[in-house]
Amino acid sequence: MTRVTWMLEELGAPYELVHARLGTRDLVGLSPSNKGPVLVDDGFVLTDSAAICLYLADKHGDAGFGPRDARERAQMESWLFFALAEFEAVMWTKIKHRVLLPKEMRLDVGPWLAAEFARELKTLHRRLGDNDYAMGDRFTCVDVILGHCGRWAMYAKFPIGSEPVAAYFERVLARPAYARAIAAEEALAARTGPES
């Protein structure tokens, strides 16, 4: 949920966070996978954080967080596909084999994941180049997704062995909108309990 909350905070858009327990009936009818996040916008329902962030960037186009033309859209989608299918996949695999899967299904994937993460980190380093942000000199919805992936990588204790990538994560995670998103979600959790 943090990604969507962060995007909404960047946009300064009004929103209401609603607590829904993952894997329960709370999400039935809204999310085919029965998972969050789910955006409900004037009757329009959308799932998956990257899709939601890109939709919000498009909807609030004047704010400058989305693509300005078809080529930028293609570049942003390329970044998002990399972030989710390659970079974040390593973290998902780790959490599945450490926590989510039944114990009898868990494998020792630590050495393989360390090598895989190092490879994806090099790819991220090459893709970023000397840019401050994924799309160059402006912060976009792509940086919300990548920044959150970076936070997750640090939480999972993957070493960020690239100074430019570490500086990138530090830069995007220092944004006031990120801090506001975390505070909003912590306030919701304090009122309703954890989301899972």
Distances from the Cα of 164 to the Cαs of 14, 57, 92, 196, in angstroms? 34, 26, 24, 34
Please name the helix (run of DSSP H) or strand (run of DSSP E) that holds residue 40, with its range, or none. Answer: strand 38-41
- Domains for the chain: give ranges and CATH numbers: 2-63 (3.40.30.10), 70-177 (1.20.1050.10)
Nearest to 39 by CA among 63, 62, 11, 70: 11
pLDDT tens, the chain, 196 aa long: 799 999 999 999 999 888 776 666 666 667 666 567 888 999 898 989 999 999 999 999 999 999 999 999 999 999 999 999 999 999 889 888 988 899 999 999 889 999 999 999 999 999 999 999 999 999 999 999 999 999 999 998 899 999 999 999 999 999 999 999 999 988 888 887 655 4
Helix (H, G, I), strand (E, B), or coil: what is residue 136?
strand
What is the pTM for the complete model shown? Answer: 0.91
